[in-house]
Amino acid sequence: MSVPRIRIIKNGPYIVTGNVLLSEKFITPKGPSYELKNGRQLPQSEEYALCRCGKSKNPPFCDGSHEHINFDGTETASRKPYAERLEEVVEGPDLILQDDGRCAYARFCHRADGNAWTLTEFSGNPKYKEEAIQAAFECPSGRLTAADKEGKAYEPGYEPSIEILQDPQNQVSGPITVRGRIPIESSDGYTYEVRERAALCRCGRSRNKPFCDASHVSVHYRDKTGK
């Protein structure tokens, strides 16, 4: 069995190899926070191609539509490692929260007792510390990372998997979320920094390709299965 990997085709789809589990999830309100609920079952395969242009009639899979619309999938994301891209670092009494700004608008950073940043500021309270760590764990884009005071990151250690997000509350279809340190290879052969969590654009409109920048919300992207 091959090792899990995602390869980006120039102006084309994401090719996923390694028998990576594929599922559909719905972002669902749970009080002041959110949870993921299972969507429809998706076919599983050793290798599959996921749409990147947002126009496939068979989402989340590629159907060749990118060729007919002359999709421009030029990758514009920074290739600097996470530590060099940080836009904000919040140091609380017992926790450090790192933030690189790559927001997919999944909203899991909002918890019952406050958002991840506020909870970090009050992390001397074990309850708030745990909530802040959980908020970082559940951030699908990998934007947030919680670390101890020595800088060692807390990570859940996910098994390799890919989730197709739907966001009924905002009436949009969300990104492709990648878990479990699956390498993502650029169309020119470069491998992006391997991380526990990442969110890939599937509406075709991100200004930070291949990663999601929440453009699916502003352009009201909906695949036919998310209706």
Burial group, residue 215, by CB count within 10 angstroms (0-12, 13-18, 19+):
buried
| Domain spans, the chain | 5-78+160-226, 83-147
Report the C-alpha gap between 131 and 137 in whole angstroms.
Answer: 10
Q: Give the start-end residues of each E strand in the chain.
A: 5-8, 14-17, 21-30, 33-38, 47-50, 88-91, 96-99, 110-111, 114-115, 144-147, 161-167, 172-179, 184-185, 197-200
What are the tens digits of pLDDT across the range 108-137?
999 999 999 999 999 999 999 999 999 999
Degrees (nearest 5) of the Cα angle 19, 24, 27?
Answer: 140
What are the tens digits of pLDDT across the range 179-203?
999 999 999 999 999 999 999 999 9
What are the tens digits of pLDDT across the range 143-186?
999 999 999 999 888 999 999 999 999 999 999 999 999 999 99
What does the pLDDT average to over 43-71?
Answer: 97
Q: Say if residue 84's pLDDT is above 90.
A: yes
Confidence bin at 54 (pLDDT 50/70/90)? very high
Q: Residue 220: which residues within 8 A CB-CB, separation 6 or more?
A: 171, 172
Phi, psi of 135 (to 5 degrees): -60, -40
Q: Residue 126's pLDDT is what?
A: 97
Report the C-alpha gap between 96 and 117 in whole angstroms.
Answer: 9
How many Cβ atoms sit within 10 Å of the Cβ of residue 157? Answer: 9
**Which of the residue ranges 53-67, 147-161, 206-220 would you say has the lowest mean pLDDT?**
147-161
Q: Say if residue 225's pLDDT is above 80.
A: no
Phi, psi of 128 (to 5 degrees): -70, -35
Q: Residue 6's pLDDT is what?
A: 98
Number of residues that this document lists for the chain: 227
Q: Residue 32's pLDDT is what?
A: 87
What does the pLDDT average to over 74-98?
Answer: 97
Q: Residue 156's pLDDT is what?
A: 86
